[in-house]
Amino acid sequence: MTGRIPYTKPSITELETRYAADAAANGWGAACYDYIVRFEREFGSYIGSDFAIATSSGTGALHMGLAALGIGPGDEVILADSNWVATVAPIVHLGATPVFVDVLDETWCIDPAAVERHLTPRTRAIIVTHLYGNLAEMDALLALGRRAGVPVIEDAAEAIGSMWGDRRAGSMGLFGTFSFHGTKTLTTGEGGMLVTSDPDFYECVLTLSNHGRARGQTKQFWADEIGFKYKMSNIQAAIGCAQLQRIEELVARKREILACYRIRLCVLPGVQMNCELEGTVNGAWMPTAVFHPLTGITREALQRGFAAADIDARVFFHPLSSLAMFEDRRDNVNAWDIPGRAINLPSYHDMSEDDIRRVSETLIAIARGEGRRDARLSRSA
């Protein structure tokens, strides 16, 4: 063992530092938004959306998007119970009611049938989270949204590089949101982006994003409505521009690491990793191992084993409805069951083959030492 293996860290090269230094030295006065404008334009082009607004976080992007839809008290927003709290926080901030539904066992993403069962006259939006790079079933969800007259929103914070057919994650719903946190494939340290191809919706969010000052307003320091200040800094955007130039390389390396784990872990029966449905591409943000219930492997055993090996593996998201501030929804069976037998594996651009081997061998040793090795499971593997 040769030191701790972190679960993720960014890939920063001379290009990022050069762009950031240029923004710090020259990006002031009339040039204070130059990298922001460039990042928005180039990111929108990469995703395949007509408009993009850089934000201080993915959470801020989602908050403004929901606010632009007029969502508030008395409204319901449907989302997957398997989620990070950042996805539900804007709903609560706006006074609306989150409706947690179950996820599919294969994709770990929102179940379209569960969404349909929970539609009511109060439903104002469906948030679709592409979890760990896995893609939700967008054809079914978009069709459902059209039939119900409810907008579909893509939380693509973890899905840059993922594709549904020939469309990129985040480009298919009314709007999509992204995170550029330091853990993400493309990072600006902190930061996010809202993308859309609806010009009217874009103008509404753009106004909200600038303290409620509409584009073209000629009165200085005049606000047309109460808005937000979720703007990304020019220095962050400079780093984002450099990262975006390397995006194919960054995504390709993520996919390589996931592929390496698949090969090394195929000796274990009953282990499911991030899926890639036919006709899709998984951006592979976070390789995740989910053990079949018959293996007897638990989250706690996995945490103990990785901690002993000095490897920073992280747990699968707890169901949001298990948090103290929400009503318990144990009827969301998959969302409650999967986290108890799953673990996120380290994955970062500069991870060595020896590191991947060490993580894999540790997981195999934990499984063989802790699991029941159910005979029926071994025979079916």
Mean pLDDT value across residues 275-283: 96
Checking if the pLDDT of 381 tops 90, the result is: no
Instruction: Name residue 164's amino acid.
Output: W
The per-residue pLDDT for 375 is 43
Reported as a single tens digit per residue, the pLDDT across 219-273 is: 999 999 999 999 999 999 999 999 999 999 999 999 999 999 999 999 999 999 9
Task: With cut-offs at 50, 70 and 90, classify the pLDDT of residue 371.
Answer: low
Task: With cut-offs at 50, 70 and 90, classify the pLDDT of residue 379.
Answer: very low
| All domains of the chain in start order, with CATH | 14-245 (3.40.640.10), 247-380 (3.90.1150.10)
Reported as a single tens digit per residue, the pLDDT across 291-304 is: 999 999 999 999 99
Reported as a single tens digit per residue, the pLDDT across 309-363 is: 999 999 999 999 999 999 999 999 999 999 999 999 999 999 999 999 999 999 9
Mean pLDDT value across residues 66-73: 98
Task: With cut-offs at 50, 70 and 90, classify the pLDDT of residue 1.
Answer: low
Reported as a single tens digit per residue, the pLDDT across 15-43 is: 999 999 999 999 999 999 999 999 999 99
Reported as a single tens digit per residue, the pLDDT across 116-135 is: 999 999 999 999 999 999 99
Output b/e per residue, 93-122; b: 16+ Cβ within 10 A.
ebebebbbbbbbeebbbbbbebbbeebeee
Nearest to 65 by CA among 143, 224, 173: 173
Cβ–Cβ < 8 Å for 283, 254:
yes
Mean pLDDT value across residues 131-153: 98
Mean pLDDT value across residues 53-60: 98
pTM, whole model, 2 decimals? 0.95
CA distance 278 to 106: 13
The per-residue pLDDT for 2 is 74
Pairing of strands 280-281, 288-291: unpaired
CA distance 11 to 315: 23
The per-residue pLDDT for 377 is 53
No. of H helices and E strands in the chain? 13, 13
The per-residue pLDDT for 370 is 74
Residues 6+ positions from 30 with CB-CB distance below 8 Å: none
For residue 355, the number of C-alpha atoms closer than 13 Å in the C-beta half-sphere is 20
Mean residue pLDDT across the chain: 96
Q: What percent of the chain has pLDDT above 90?
A: 95
| Whole-Å CA distances, 121 to 19, 148, 149, 245 | 49, 9, 10, 44
* Residue whose structure tokens are 């029941």: 372
Burial class (CB within 10 angstroms; exposed 0-12, middle 13-18, buried 19+) of 223: middle
